Structure 1
Amino acid sequence: MTALVRYRLTTLLLSQRYLAPLLLFTALVTVLTSNDTGPLTATHAASGLAMLLAATWLTTALAGLEDPTHRAVVTAATGGHRRLATGTVLAALVVCLPLTVLGLVLPLLVGTHDPTPVDLLLGAEAQLTCGCTGAAVGLLAARPVVRRQGYGLLLALVLLLVLTLGKGLPPVNLLLTRLSGHHRSAELVGSTGLLLALAAALLGAAAVVAHAVAVRRD
């Protein structure tokens, strides 16, 4: 599995499809948190929203790296659709890790904050929650679930709008609402951990759907 994840990441790097979502993430975090002197919880909300968009884009790119013929070859070489789907999910999570670090450090460089370990823990939880949710959306909007890129983009936009604007809808809208409520970080760490678990479950469910569709179409 390690070799498969390394292959997926190497292919992504060589394709340079990571550049646009990386630039989007950096630009959003910088603009939304520049000269910020408010509570870090609101800053984490901005970084989480940027992570949601970037993770969706990156996962869509990872899942759609190969055309159908090349994908069939990779599937056979890696031992089946399940291993390929698992490798794609793990690669997406690996990509989200450096973005999480960037999302924690960049606001501290462009704003004025005095973070505590609890603040950083909450920020990591928030970004990973949005990262897992974005990866789930990316899997559902990419091949083999959606074969045409235009339809996949439309589906991703609809899902992202529902997740971010659906009032009280976990994990994303509920998370952003709580983070924007100017609570103390210590008050939100536990509930955000539960939302992270829910987001991980959504990612697992999306991987199951993607695997089932791939098996059926082959």
Structure 2
Amino acid sequence: MIALVRYITAVVLHSQRFLPPLMLFAGVAIMFIAGTGTSPVVGTYGAVAGVLFACSTWFTLVLVAAEDPVRREITAVNAGGFRRVLIATVLVALAGCLLVSGVLLVSAPLFAAHPIGAAELAAGFLAQFTAASTGIAAGLVSSRLVLPRAGHSVLAALALVAIFALGTGLPPVNPTIRLLANTSDALDALAGTAAYAGVALLLLIGGTVVAHLVATRRD
């Protein structure tokens, strides 16, 4: 599995298709973090999570499409099955999203007017995990593994991003952002963010299963 993760990472890095979602996330997230000032940093972490959600969906689409269908079949045969390739793809997507967001997460104290404690960092990490996991799930079910036509894939991804980001009663992304935006005490937000992170993990597992079932039946 480690070799497969390294291979998929090398493929997406060589393609350089990861740069647009990375640059979008970094640019918008830096603006939010730089403008923290005297505002509660947990609110900034929530806003950054919203950006990460959209960009992680985009990154997953890019990651799935890094290989054409023929090369994907060859990779699956050499790796011992498509399931292993899909799991490795999810691991690369999650690691990449959390790595990039983690760098910005720990840089927030440079711009905050008050010291940031462990509770703030924990709430921020849970929010980033929630956003990344939900975004990857959305990317998987709208990728060409499920929707072969590029136009349908993009429209589905945009619809899912809009639904989860703007749906006030639909967990876990929008409630996470609202929770962090409306609290000044990170300890009060920890239980809620942990619960939403659990929902996001279930969505990630479900999205992976759906992508696997649809892709293997089609093939």
Q: Which of the five TM-score ranges fits, normalised by the shorter chain?
A: over 0.9
Identical-residue share of aligned pairs (%):
38
Consecutive unaligned residues of structure 2, counting only runs of 5 or more, are none
Q: Deviations over 1:99-149 (max 9, x none)?
A: 221231343334534201111111011001100000101111212111122
Residue 113 to residue 14, structure 1, CA distance change in 2 (3 Å): farther
Contact 1:126/1:192 (8 A) holds in 2? yes
Following TM superposition, the consecutive aligned residue runs of length 4 or more in structure 1 with deviations greater than 6 angstroms are none
Other-structure match for 1:205: 206
Looking at structure 2, the residues matched to 86 and 210 of structure 1 have their Cα atoms a distance apart, in angstroms, of 11
Root-mean-square deviation (Å): 1.3
Matches within 5 A, 1:189-200: 189-200=190-201
Contact 2:33/2:44 (8 A) holds in 1? yes
Contact 2:61/2:143 (8 A) holds in 1? yes
Are residue 165 (structure 1) and residue 166 (structure 2) matched? yes
Structure 2 letter corresponding to 1:93: L
Q: How many Å apart are 1:168 and its aligned residue? A: 2.2
Looking at structure 2, the residues matched to 106 and 28 of structure 1 have their Cα atoms a distance apart, in angstroms, of 14
Which sits farther off after the overlay, 94-103 or 12-21? 94-103
Matches within 5 A, 1:1-218: 1-36=1-36, 37-218=38-219
Structure 2 letter corresponding to 1:13: L
Q: Deviations over 1:72-107 (max 9, x none)?
A: 111111111211111111111111221221231343
Looking at structure 2, the residues matched to 110 and 29 of structure 1 have their Cα atoms a distance apart, in angstroms, of 13
Looking at structure 2, the residues matched to 171 and 159 of structure 1 have their Cα atoms a distance apart, in angstroms, of 13
Looking at structure 1, the residues matched to 113 and 213 of structure 2 have their Cα atoms a distance apart, in angstroms, of 48
Looking at structure 1, the residues matched to 170 and 104 of structure 2 have their Cα atoms a distance apart, in angstroms, of 23
Consecutive unaligned residues of structure 1, counting only runs of 5 or more, are none
TM-score (norm 2): 0.95
